[in-house]
Structure 1
Amino acid sequence: MVFNPSPKQIGWLKGAIFALALVPLLRMVYLTVSGQLVDPLEFITRGTGDWTLYFLCFTLAVTPLRRLSKWNWLIKLRRMLGLFMFFYGLLHFMTFLWFDHFFDVQEMWKDVLKRPFITVGFIAFVLLIPLAVTSTNAMVKRLGGKRWQWLHRLIYVIAPLAILHFWWMKAGKHDFIQPTIFGVILSVLLLMRVWWAARK
C-alpha cells in the first residue's frame, strides 16, 4: 500500500524524529551530571560512537526502504538522519579531543598516527565533514546534482571505515558481537545498492 503523508504530517514526523534523536544525548548528559556513572568518559565515548553508527544505518536504510515500499517521501527524512549521524560523530570526536587530550592537537595527532583504530575513525570523521557542509539545498544547486551525488557517495567509503574502527576498538576486549551486527546490517544495505546498480 502506498502511503503519501501531507507536508504537514511530514513536518510533524520530522519534529518527532528530531526530538527522539536528542534523547540519547540528554540521557548521557543526565547520567554524567548526576554522578551515576563509574566511568563517564568511557560511557560518553561509547555512547556517541554507537549512535553515530545507528544513524549511519538509519541514513543508508532510507533508499532501500523507499524502493521496496514505494514511499518516496522517505527521502525527505534522509538529510536530517545524515546530519544527526554527523552530530554524534562530532561529539564522539570532541570527546576524544577534549577529555583524552584536553585540546592538545599535537598529542592528538600522535595518537591518531600511532593507533590504527583511531586512524581509520579519524579518516571516517574527516570524510563526513564535506557531506555535512554540502547538505543544504543551496549547496546542491551550487555543486550541481551530479557532482553533489558523486561527493555524497563518500558514505560508501565512510561506512566500512566506521565498522573497521569499531571492530579494532572492540578487538582489544575480544568483544565482536556489536561490530558483527553493525557490519552485517551495513553490508546488506550496501549490497542492495550494488544489486540494483548491477541490474541496470
Structure 2
Amino acid sequence: MGRLLTGRVVIATHNAGKLREMRELLAPFGVEAVSAGELNLPEPDETGTMFSENAAIKARAATKATGLPAFADDSGLCVDALDGAPGLFSARWSGGSKDFSGAMARIERELATRGATNRRSHFVSALVLTWPDGHEELFEGRVFGELVWPPRGDKGFGYDPMFRPDESPLTFGELSSEEKHGIDWTKREALSHRARAFLALAAACLRRPE
C-alpha cells in the first residue's frame, strides 16, 4: 500500500493532451489538480535513460518549486523494428513545433528504409508521485499493438492515430477518450498505457470520496 494522496497536486506537464487525460483520470477522487504549465513552471531537462527517471525528474522539479505533491508521466512509443525508437525521444521526434504528423511520417520512412515488415510496437507510461518530504511512488503501464499507415482518426494526441492496440480494431486516434483511457473499476481493467499506470497508482495512493 502506497501513501495516500489528498488535497492539491501538481500535474507536472506542459502537454495539453496529457493534462486533459490526467484530469479526467483524477476526477473521481476529489483531488484538486493544477498543471506545471498553468503555474508557469520551467520544464526541466529530461536527462534520464529510462521513462521512470524522466518522470521523476519532472515530478521532483514541480514539488520543489511548489512545496506540493506532484505527479508526472513520461511516456513514449517503442517500435520493435526500430530497436525501440523513438522511445524516450518520442516527443523530440516531433520537433520544436510538436508536429506529430511529421514524427509519424518519420517512423514510416524509417521502417521503409529498413525494409521492415514487422509493425509491432508498444506504448509505455511511467507515473511518478513525489511529496515534499522526499517520498516517491512509481507505477508503470504498457499497451501492445500494431502500427497502421496511413494514420487514422483525429482524437487523442501524439502518435495515437498510427497505433492500433491489440484489444481494438480502432487506433487510439479513432477511440473516444472514455474508450481509450476509461477504467473499469469493477474489473480493474484499462486499455491505454497511461490508464493502466494510473490504475496501479489509484489502487495504492487514492481513495474515492464517501
What TM-score, normalized by structure 1, do the two folds share? 0.30
Of Structure 1 and Structure 2, the greater strand share is in 2
| Greater Rg by CA | 1
TM-score, with length taken from structure 2:
0.29
